[in-house]
Amino acid sequence: MGTVGFSLINPEAAVLVLGGTIIASGLAHGWGNLWTAFRELRGLARAPLDEATNRAALARLVYAINRQGRFAAQAPLPPDPALADVIAAYLRLGDVTAMKKQWRTQRIASGAAHRAAAATWRRAGELAPVAGLATTLYAIAGLAPKGDETLVATTATAVATAVVSTLYGLLLAHLICLPLAGAIERKGQADQAVRTKLMRWFQNQLPPACPKDPRQSPTRLVHAA
């Protein structure tokens, strides 16, 4: 940027800022929550929950239940794993109450994971500038000349590293960590809203409860490909 010897690419500063942010986030929020935060990134790469496809699977399931009963020979499950687990509980036990309990447990667990991941990324966004400042101080602490380097060259290198470290911390916070926290929250809320809508529709389509016939064979659950 017009300054001889200055570069925005500094691997050492990048490693120190990124490593410092990860370690500080793990210590502040717990290593389990840090792992959850990275794991939830995979959800961002997936497409939004397909309401039409899952509703079609539920409609076929309702049709089979109305024609053959809960213990039909085959019961295709919706492609969404969370919905599939809840529907499987209903088909296995033949009890709406059990299905609602499974749904409540799944919803609480999913919401807790999203909140933990978002909170961890938000804390990382708060700690990234601190890691940048710590790397800046580390660079300034190395102002003493090394080997054949002159004081001017050493000072220029240290100052450049200090400036880049501060920049890396700010960029990591505001372009990566904080946006990821918001994205995880939005996707989690959107997917959960679709699941809730589908579950309510499914419950409204179910036939009235009837006593379980012990002579009927258990339902064979077929997961969607």
178-221 per-position pLDDT tens digit: 999 999 999 999 999 999 999 999 988 887 655 444 444 444 44
The reply to whether 184 falls in a domain is yes
In a domain, 216, yes or no: yes
Q: What is the pLDDT of residue 153?
A: 66
How far apart are the C-alpha atoms of 123 and 108, rounded to whole Å? Answer: 22
In a domain, 37, yes or no: yes
In a domain, 133, yes or no: yes
Strand (E) positions, the chain? 74-76, 220-222
Q: Give dist(CA 3, CA 123) in Å, integer.
A: 34
- pTM confidence score: 0.77
Is there a domain that residue 5 lies in?
Answer: no
Would residue 2 count as lying in a domain? no
pLDDT in tens, the chain (225 residues): 344 455 778 888 899 999 999 999 999 989 999 999 999 998 888 888 899 999 999 998 888 887 776 665 466 789 998 998 888 888 887 778 888 888 999 899 989 999 999 999 999 999 999 999 998 888 777 665 555 556 666 677 777 788 899 999 999 999 999 999 999 999 999 999 999 999 999 988 887 655 444 444 444 444 444
Range of the domain at 78: 11-222
Cα–Cα nearest to 192, from 109, 96, 97, 111: 111
Percent of the residues in the chain that have a pLDDT greater than 70, as a whole number: 80
Q: Is residue 78 part of a domain?
A: yes
Cβ 119 vs Cβ 140: under 8 Å:
no
Which residues share a beta bridge with 76?
222
Number of domains in the chain: 1
- Cα 67–chain centre separation: 39
Cβ neighbours of residue 189 under 8 Å, at least 6 residues apart?
114
